[in-house]
Amino acid sequence: MIAVGSPPRTTPRRPASSVRCYYRPAVLVGAGLLVVGTFWFASRYPQLLSKSAHLGDALPNMAYAGELFPVDPASPVWERVLATMANWLNSMKIGMGFGVLLGALLHTVLNYYPLKLGSNLYLNSAKGALLGVPAGVCANCAVPVACGVTRGSGRVEAALGFLFSSPNFNPVVVAMTFTALPLAIAVTKYAVLLVVILAAVPLLVRWSERGAKSAPDLADAAACAIDLKTPCGQSFAQVLAELGRVYAKHVWGLLRPTAAIMLGASLVASVALVLVPWADLLADTSPGTLAVVSLLATAMPVPIALDVMFAGNLHAQGVASGYVALFAMSLGTYSLIPSIYLWREVSRRLAVALFGLFWAVSFVCGLVF
């Protein structure tokens, strides 16, 4: 008698097509880790820690911490303006380059995998702010990131939450703020920013969407026709080539306007830095002068943590505390560059309203302190 055994157990082989379904998300996640990791560990956090270590050192001006080209006060105005432009562009090049690369990547990701945040504007703004905390991107360099979100059909309040959170709520910047500034000013700064992110941004976005026509929809023009189906029939090389083409197109779509805005902003900022009599203005604490300085500070584009370093220097030099609070609140939180982005791609009313909000907040802080 022959015993009949059970058939041998075999593990079913996973079809090759099911593995291919994960090629696209794997490439996008890998690209994100590469871009963010390189920026964080090779540039941003070493730079922030260096700024923290040099907190209290003298600065050339409020817009950059080091000079590639010395600015001689005895030189002609045009030479000083050009040197200041070059120094500012040099201080912004890495952060803005990262902003373009990350913004284009977010645009690419959102084209394939649309972000579903829901209709709660307050929660969306808070989510964007949470993502901005570790990013360590200044308000200017966050503009291409925000642009990538809105061009990818993401919510503008989430983009703005990221933009306002990233330069201010980074842990290193928070530590620098409470070290360099009086406690009352530091607490006021973060209390106001929380109100702006959690309440003012959602309210202004709702108001702008309800009551005004948006600027020409560049998001639709910038987006490309993409097959959103899961690429289970494509090889890894095909997926990589497709994503490379789409990503390169989005990089170029962000690089062109970003370069133009950077050059224009550098010229405006340099003219203001060279020609405005800052020492005379800071010696005058009248409401009219405070209003003018607040306007200039709100528009001034500066790298991350320069607002803390400059306001801390003013405090150490004995400048009136109203100006310390004014610069701590406005400088580096908003600027001409986010205003241009919102004006061109989102809503002109929103751009003006946010600029007016930060001008008013910094002016009031100057009066109160």
Taking the C-alpha atoms of residue 160 and residue 138, their distance in angstroms, rounded to an integer, is 13
Name the residue type at position 130.
L
Give exposure, 240-260, as e/b (b: 16+ Cβ within 10 Å): eebbeebbebbbebbbebbee
DSSP string across 186-244:
HHHHHHHHHHIIIIIHHHHHHHHHHHSPPSP-HHHHH------S--TTS-HHHHHHHHH
What is the rounded average pLDDT of the residues 159-170?
Answer: 92
Please say whether the beta carbons of 40 and 137 come within 8 A: no
pTM of the model: 0.84
What's the chain's average pLDDT? 86
Q: In the chain, where are the structural domains located?
A: 21-48+72-368
User: Which of these ranges, 87-101, 228-242, 333-347, has the smallest mean pLDDT?
Assistant: 228-242
pLDDT tens profile 177-218: 999 999 999 999 999 999 999 999 999 999 988 855 544 443
**Proportion of the chain above pLDDT 90, given as a percent:** 52
Least Cα distance to 112 among 188, 195, 31 occurs for: 31
Taking the C-alpha atoms of residue 44 and residue 167, their distance in angstroms, rounded to an integer, is 11
What is the predicted pLDDT for the residue at 1? 42
What is the predicted pLDDT for the residue at 223? 40
What is the predicted pLDDT for the residue at 171? 93
